[in-house]
Structure 1
């Protein structure tokens, strides 16, 4: 049984997420992660970013990790139907007149001023990762919310790697000038319906513990708090310095 979800990008990074299961004792996670960490060091990857239960924080700090922030995970069973009556146009990037470069600018605008502290990647790195993580049809999973010719936000629903029916949002956001008007709740609800069309039966979403607006959106759309995890990072450069 996989205890961690792992995404690798050449020698640049590993992204590791603890897959918590109630009947698995914590020591099994520590043993499994220790093996994973040894492999990461042997392969000399630039850095490793980890989502893990905060009860292991001291154990991680002693191994050279630094804490970035804490996140909350919310979940919802996707039974619907959702009340998505709105005047907004919802278009997949593949069917719109928006170019990839224009979508990148819109994406970057949506994430500007975010309360999330874990900002690992530049927008160019994010755009490069879309095909790698979502597949060649990634443009069909990138949605733009617009009205009267103006773009208000985006969302990127997908099925989580290693599962058949767990829905996630690679990203979800509203442009800065449209925030605080209730659009986030509408777009999030529409995206939950889009996840259903992809075959998702449950939804899992996460955000920084301090991101109150996003937490309100989760709760307004019936999502329930499932877990709290810490975000930790270790850099190979720091490891090499300690060895010297």
Structure 2
């Protein structure tokens, strides 16, 4: 078993899940070996959900092997990237973004929950408490500055969660972004997301941002386009859930 395969990919470890990303440098055979190693690893034996992100370059044989290891296709996702050093058209309407400390965690979670209603992304396997714990575990103490509630005219309308990707110093990501149902379809999404990107650059020190969303989430894909993101790759999300 090639232990060095773990060094060739990226692990994201949260509450109740482990995800392997950046598998694109592997060969088909290495991906198959990695999936086998992943499911047999005693460190992950009790983890509720194991996830593999598999780029489009991998063949049918490798994908069938992964399925035989218990991984099921969960979603297809586009990855995009934007150079934050290049200027982009910032929207004039600025919303108030309040961090935890100014907003009670219970209020943030409730607005986050409402923002996920009717999502076009694949359904989450974690409940809100588990998702909150996952944010704290993955991002660390800076989660307080990441978990921002979006306010307009004194009323909460959504959440945006900018942060520096763990293990990097300049890769900005938005952990989650969404508006409550009543605030959608009114031209606010691009403005809020653009404000989140400005925070990534000016407050968090990111030089570029990576985003991802389901191929079915056309509204979010339009936001990426309007914000000037470039297409990177399409990946299939394979998930293996612990049987209970």
- Bin the TM-score by the shorter chain: 0.7 to 0.9
Residue in 1 that maps onto 2:205: 199
Partners of 1:142 and 1:60 in 2: CA distance: 35
Equivalent of residue 193 in structure 2, options 188, 210, 213: 188
Indicate whether 1:146 and 2:151 are aligned.
Answer: yes
Residue in 1 that maps onto 2:115: 110
Indicate whether 1:28 and 2:30 are aligned.
Answer: yes
Deviations 1:68-104 (CA, angstroms, capped at 9, x unpaired): 11111111111144443534333332352x2110110
**Mean CA deviation greater in 58-67 or 184-193:** 58-67
CA drift of 1:49 comes to 1.9
Q: Identify unmatched segments of 5+ residues in structure 2.
A: none
RMSD of aligned residue pairs (Cα, Å) = 2.3
Matches within 5 A, 1:123-162: 123-162=128-167
- After TM superposition, the score normalised by the length of structure 2 is 0.86
The alignment partner of 1:237 has SS state of coil
- After TM superposition, the score normalised by the length of structure 1 is 0.86
Partners of 1:186 and 1:77 in 2: CA distance: 18
Partners of 1:204 and 1:153 in 2: CA distance: 21
**Mean CA deviation greater in 137-146 or 111-120:** 137-146
Partners of 2:10 and 2:89 in 1: CA distance: 33
- Contact 2:162 2:175 (C-alpha < 8 Å) held by counterparts: yes
Q: Summarize the Cα distance change of 1:74–1:40 in structure 2 as closer, same or farther, 3 Å threshold.
A: farther
Equivalent of residue 14 in structure 1, options 9, 13, 18: 18
The alignment partner of 2:133 has SS state of helix
Q: Summarize the Cα distance change of 1:141–1:45 in structure 2 as closer, same or farther, 3 Å threshold.
A: closer
- Contact 2:121 2:217 (C-alpha < 8 Å) held by counterparts: yes
Q: How many residues align?
A: 234
Partners of 1:69 and 1:38 in 2: CA distance: 24
The alignment partner of 1:60 has SS state of helix
- Contact 1:92 1:141 (C-alpha < 8 Å) held by counterparts: no
CA drift of 1:135 comes to 1.3
Residue in 2 that maps onto 1:75: 81
Partners of 2:42 and 2:72 in 1: CA distance: 16
The alignment partner of 1:120 has SS state of coil
The alignment partner of 1:88 has SS state of coil
Q: Summarize the Cα distance change of 1:33–1:161 in structure 2 as closer, same or farther, 3 Å threshold.
A: farther
The alignment partner of 1:173 has SS state of strand
Residue in 1 that maps onto 2:67: 61
- Contact 1:66 1:232 (C-alpha < 8 Å) held by counterparts: yes
Residue in 2 that maps onto 1:242: none
Q: Summarize the Cα distance change of 1:28–1:163 in structure 2 as closer, same or farther, 3 Å threshold.
A: farther
